[in-house]
Structure 1
Amino acid sequence: MSLKLNPRKLLLSKWTALQPQHKEKHFLVVRVLLPDDPQAPVTEVELEAVHSRRSRIIPWKTLTDAESWRQGWH
């Protein structure tokens, strides 16, 4: 099952990685990367690990994969 998400409303949303790496399980969307062309769709967001503060940029559609991500902190 995949989630229906609006990428422009993801800012500050909380996510749990179901397969944590580097002991990083809980993440916050700290930035929605807007394309240069305002008519183009959003494709990426920046996630920050709550524990380590390490950040990474991912395609926002990755968050709809129910086997990898769960919305909220669990």
Structure 2
Amino acid sequence: MRNLLVVMMLILVSACQNTSKRSSDLIDCPEIRPQVCTMIYAPVCAMETSGQFTSYSSDCTACSHEEVIGYQPGVCAQEK
């Protein structure tokens, strides 16, 4: 009976873990942010620390903003 209680407590604790809002298919921005970017248009959809997605003209432009944590290729779906 005691073993069952321990197992149930472990399941309960692991089920209550805080999960990240971050999408697993995002490409991480580098730790050292770019300061100068080329003007090549290759749109990306970037996720900001607030959880909001915003379209940028390129991955370099997106990652130059401190609030961006990652991006995926293409324009954001809600902006198409």
Instruction: State whether TM-score is above 0.5.
Output: no
Which protein has the bigger strand share?
1
Q: TM-score of the superposition, structure 2-length normalised?
A: 0.30
Q: Which has the higher contact order (CA 8 A, sep 6+)?
A: 1
Which protein has the bigger helix share?
2
